[in-house]
Amino acid sequence: MKTFVLASQNKHKAEEIKQILGSDFEIKTMDEVGLSNFDIIEDGNTFEENAAKKAVSVFNEINMPVIADDSGLCVDFLNGAPGVYTARFAGENASDSENIDKLLSELKNVPFQERSAKFVCVIAFIENSVDNIKYFKGECSGFILDKRRGTSGFGYDPVFYCKEYEKTLAELGENIKNTISHRYKALKAFSDSLK
């Protein structure tokens, strides 16, 4: 069994990551390694920079293998925004619901075909040295609906529509989401690299 610390305070993400990686991996949360109040400022210009910053900060504290994920939503009509600002699109400490409201207002009256978007996830992995960071990337393409549908998942899931299933990620539920998501694809690349 391989053991890693996950450099994230987001409990939904931690659950998803544990479910995706399965029983070959033991994922310790920051709480479990005594870093519950450890705050990392995400001020990078790219998902890679932010993921690396989280991984390095946690590795420097505990000196054991760390994975960190940085993810976000890139909307074509908004020229790739909110991107690295996804979590704080509606302002510092904005709730998921406030962020969705802001996104829907930015896309008001934009026709469905022009509402294409993708979720991006970058995993940064440090095994034993901050001089050797490995990156794994996954993307999930879809469209932003003009209203919420579904209740599962988190973040922007209720408005992110997957054409092949004709459902939002929040309607699909975690079992299916975790076989198609950006996070699944990045984690799959990560776990394949360890085989």
The residues annotated as belonging to the active site are 70
Q: How far is the CB of 10 from ligand IMP (least distance, A)?
A: 5
Q: How far is the CB of 93 from ligand IMP (least distance, A)?
A: 11
Residue with nearest beta carbon to ligand IMP: 155
In 3D, which of 32, 31, 51 has the Cα closest to residue 40? 51
**Is the Cβ of residue 1 or residue 41 nearer to ligand IMP in the bound state?**
41
State whether the Cα torsion 126-128-129-130 is positive or negative: positive
Residue partners of 190: CB distance under 8 A and separation at least 6? 67, 123, 125, 134, 136
Q: How far is the CB of 161 from ligand IMP (least distance, A)?
A: 12
In 3D, which of 104, 86, 92 has the Cα closest to residue 154? 86
Instruction: Say how far apart CA 54 and CA 20 lie, in whole Å.
Output: 20
Beta strand 25-28 with 160-162: parallel, antiparallel or unpaired? unpaired
Residues of this chain that bind ligand IMP (CB under 6 A): 10, 42, 70-73, 86-87, 96, 99, 119, 153-157, 169, 181, 183
Instruction: Say how far apart CA 4 and CA 75 lie, in whole Å.
Output: 32
DSSP state of 165: T
**Is the Cβ of residue 87 or residue 126 nearer to ligand IMP in the bound state?**
87
**Is the Cβ of residue 126 or residue 144 nearer to ligand IMP in the bound state?**
144
**Is the Cβ of residue 88 or residue 134 nearer to ligand IMP in the bound state?**
88
**Is the Cβ of residue 25 or residue 177 nearer to ligand IMP in the bound state?**
177
Q: How far is the CB of 112 from ligand IMP (least distance, A)?
A: 19
* Cβ atoms 86, 71 nearer than 8 A: yes
**Structure tokens that stand for 72 in this block:** 């976000």
